[in-house]
Structure 1
């Protein structure tokens, strides 16, 4: 994948990656306030940076509305997503990191690793198509395959599917799922909601579990 001309800064790279990641698994667009939450920044600072990135041709922005990627912005976002996810996979498979430990490390390394080293890592790993959390890894041309999946909390009663993706936003949640024997490719059967808006009952890893909303909204299973 070719880099976007103009040597984008690490700040620009972070912004386009957040915009891309927000809509990768669901359709609702992100706003400047959503970006601010994801990056831990003041809303006013984010608004100013979004205006600059829009002027640079990386984003489009409707005042008080959606922030979206241009074609150039999407190209840069996919480049950074590829870097981030390959590095996460490399840390887990080659350096003994847990899947709950790699996000912050990858956030730093993705801006500094050379394309040559990244291609070497990709080859060493056997050209993986997903990272430790199930997120698809774009190839060098920017192509990727996202599996047909449904959010666990939205799956109908009786649905059975293998886990294809788990949000990596909360390391504690990843550790909880690992302790319960739930990971990528684990088969989950949806039993239904407990009465009066209760937990979601599922069968996974040969055990029946009651999962709270935070878990149900962080796990995707095959349709």
Structure 2
């Protein structure tokens, strides 16, 4: 059993924790707290190239999981190299999405990922501000960026016309890895309200 308290040890996690405490005690949100306390942690989505240092004292397996995840976001996802998704994802992977639904299987996940690039072909993740690994569990934050530059399918046979607006949102991915070194379950988190506001749909 993983001791989740131990997962929070390390510089990036400590900074995030301090920032969260500051936000709670002052009655503000994380972005506002970061503005008033820049020594803690800025807003990665609005601060380009905020790449973090790697955690200390990782086991070989923990480091490997984080390296595979970096390659997943920076190369496979950002460059749409879908034939390589099996390097990080199990064939029967379950993926949990921010709106609460989940999907099963790598082919379904690839189809969902492809759909993001239909309306924002420049979508990319190029930085991981925080990386945490403990045994078979990883938690990584990223910054997802792109431009709503092409028509977006509305799910009803029609399209939402592009607004031309750029987006840059903070996200987090929690992965559960199996003994073969790939994720068998993945949890994706980001703020959909902020996302829709940035692309002009809210």
**For the superposition of Structure 1 and Structure 2, which TM-score range results when normalised by the shorter chain?**
under 0.3
Larger Rg: 1
What is the TM-score of this pair, normalised by structure 1? 0.23
Larger RCO: Structure 1 or Structure 2 (Cα < 8 Å, ≥ 6 residues apart)? 2
What is the TM-score of this pair, normalised by structure 2? 0.25
